[in-house]
A = this chain, B = another copy of it.
Amino acid sequence: MSVFANTPEPPYTAVIFSSVRTQGGAVDERADDPGYDRMSERMFALAAEQPGYLGVESAHDASLGITVSYWVDEAAAASWKQVAEHLVAQARGRDVWYSDYRVRVANVTRAYGPGGLA
């Protein structure tokens, strides 16, 4: 399976979530937090069940994590933000897991890969 989200031709919506874990967020510290890993896996699975979900891409290193989720439109992305179980995870993220983060909601207008337009 491709690590890339299988997004259609634009337009669609991207939610860019950039985060720094508490305690510096180092990879080896993260392994000591099964609660975080369980939540993270559960959120990926739950997002994939939502209406309008297109896919997700995620990369994490010692200093920063970036997860980009893709949605058919801003309304679908906004609905995912309000899913009850996700609200609980967001609160725990703010209180415990993340020392800081940014969320940016953006409308994709153009996409391409090595072979040209996606």
Contact = CB atoms under 8 A, between A and B. Distances in A.
SS class, residues of chain A in contact with chain B? strand
B102 A105 contact: no
A109 interface: yes
A102 B106 contact: no
A106 to B, nearest CB: 4
A2 to B, nearest CB: 8
Contacts of A84: none
17 contacts: A3-B64, A4-B18, A14-B16, A14-B104, A57-B64, A59-B60, A59-B64, A59-B66, A66-B68, A68-B68, A101-B113, A102-B111, A103-B112, A105-B108, A105-B111, A106-B109, A107-B107
